[in-house]
Structure 1
Amino acid sequence: MNKIVFAFILIALQACAQKSYLAQLDPMGKFPSKLKEVSGMEITQDGEIWVIEDSGNKDHVYLVDQEGDIKKSLEIDHAKNEDWEDLAMDHNGNLYIGDFGNNGNDRKNLVIYKVPKDEMGKKEPNAEKIEFKYPEQKEFPPKKENLYFDTEGFFHLDDHLYIFTKNRTRPYSGKTWIYRVPDKEGDYKAEFLGDLFLCSDQDHCSVTGADISPDGKTIALLSYGYIFLLTDFDAPNFTNASIKIIDINTPTQTESICFVDNRTLFIADEQNNHGGRKLYRLDID
């Protein structure tokens, strides 16, 4: 085959693979000014919405309604907010707080706090520690081409917590690295499951939040302005999943995502110069 023809075919295939679908978020409400940096969100089977903020904010989880108003604030005992970045929940109602924000890729104290369901009724719930490290990280920080160890998204599935790292590589590779750790208290070496290429746009392709649908068939990875929907996978291998890219057409800093049901997502953004501090709904049908 002519090399020029082959090159055009390859470019066309890549363009098809990167096709995105435009969607419009439906605003539901606005968080109060004390919740300017909502970084993680999860919804219970009873429809309760819990949110957290990231570094520089309180060691609290907040119960909010669908207008974004705070209904309850709980200070988590034995859990310091160094950089809380996401929330996850298992089918038993236990809440997991991902304290794994690592902008500089230099942290050695990564931890996920597990708050048992029966603790959530207390004013200061006690948390268990799931401490972990990335075995592939040898330097703190690593060289610019290996800056894969910041994290802002995870979810719970089948007794494990699945972690999707936030890519800060230079030059930018477009990949998220996938790990998992057990959902029980302990100190672990995270299990590396592979990497997943999302897209090559540095401004839109680094993971800022993650969740899995209640039926376990769809994964939603959030970035700044994009949602990546993963289907047709066989856990724990997600590297060959089909990926659909949804452009949510927003200039704000979208940081939080969770499934309400198998076809509906809630999304939250932080406040920046373009606005934000809002709670949104998106029907992925």
Structure 2
Amino acid sequence: MSVQLIGQSQSPRKFRLPNELREVSGLVIGSIDSLWWHNDSGNAAELFLTNGKGEIQSTINLSSITNQDWEDLTQDDQGRLFIGDFGDNRRARAQLQVYCYDPEEEKLDSLQFSYPDNLFYDVEAFFWHRDSLHLFTKSQIQRADLTTYHFVVPATPGQHTAELRDSLQLRKRAVTAAAIHPETGQVALLAYYFKFRLGFIPYSAANVYYFTDYPEGHFLKGKMHSRRISLFLATQYESLDFLSAERLLVASEQTVFIKPKAKRIRWKR
């Protein structure tokens, strides 16, 4: 969940993330000075709370679980954080889960899920909406048209089978993060493309896709608007959330040439 809390004058347009968030892959904006983050696979099972400038205020070590492949972070209307441990680049994981952490009560819970017909997907994007978790798959960057599938899982503890809701083909873009504005219902998908030109020159491009005027629960069937946020530089954008109805915060992890950073972008219809 995100709300209209951070105004243009209160949040820097760009800021460097600390070294502790060099592989950032999840973001939730809780309040004007409460931004929740986590890193992806191979890092400790930790949540980081920063202020609006990305300066770490506290670190929560969830030592009872592991970060097998944390890929995205979302929040429900009660302030509980959902951690998506469902990354599966090799399409081989038998156990997929989402952890639910309540920062107020310091309580941790979880749910497990699988896909129908014993299929395997890689997921790096999801958000909470009306007691359900909405997951968007990431295609392997091997061809021009990349498909993202929209699955739905109940946001309750237990073992679930994900329900396939919709799909959408994006031209040379693989989805890495998702968010929904709780008041307007706008949906945003962050997606990028990466390859080596001439076999050794890294090239990337990234867009945010906005969806409005969709049938209830069928976000990918709405009106789609696109905003390009990077071109040429090998920037790996992995997380986003709404700052307001017109602005988002997007963040990228560290690469060989670029430090981890976040920047504010504006949606222009």
Q: Which bin holds the TM-score, normalised by the shorter protein? A: 0.7 to 0.9
- Deviation, structure 1 residue 118: 2.4
Cα distance change on mapping 1:231 and 1:276 into 2, 3 Å: farther
> Greater helix percent: which structure?
1
1:1-285 to 2 correspondences below 5 Å:
27-45=13-31, 47-119=33-105, 125-138=106-119, 149-168=121-140, 170-171=142-143, 173-199=145-171, 201=172, 205-224=173-192, 225-250=206-231, 251=233, 252-285=235-268
TM-score by length of 1: 0.80
Unaligned residue ranges in structure 2 (runs of 5+): 1-11, 193-205
Shifted more, 39-48 versus 255-264: the winner is 39-48
**C-alpha deviations, 1:197-253, integer Å up to 9, x for none?**
222x1xxx1101000012142111001211111111123112321111111124210
Cα distance change on mapping 1:216 and 1:132 into 2, 3 Å: farther
**C-alpha deviations, 1:252-274, integer Å up to 9, x for none?**
10000001222110111011123
| 8 Å Cα contact 1:77-1:127 kept in structure 2 | no
Counterpart-to-counterpart distance in 2, 1:134 and 1:198:
22
> Greater strand percent: which structure?
2
Counterpart-to-counterpart distance in 2, 1:248 and 1:195:
23
Shifted more, 105-114 versus 73-82: the winner is 73-82
**C-alpha deviations, 1:117-141, integer Å up to 9, x for none?**
423xxxxx44211100011444x6x
Give the partner amino acid of 2:253. Answer: E
TM-score by length of 2: 0.84
| 8 Å Cα contact 1:27-1:278 kept in structure 2 | no
Aligned identity (percent) is 33
List structure 1 runs of 4+ shifted beyond 4 angstroms.
Answer: 169-172
Bigger Rg over Cα: 1
Give the partner amino acid of 1:228. Answer: Y
- Deviation, structure 1 residue 196: 1.4
Counterpart-to-counterpart distance in 1, 2:265 and 2:250:
8
**C-alpha deviations, 1:82-103, integer Å up to 9, x for none?**
0101000011101100001111
SS class of match (2:237)? strand
Counterpart-to-counterpart distance in 1, 2:38 and 2:108:
15
Counterpart-to-counterpart distance in 2, 1:228 and 1:268:
15
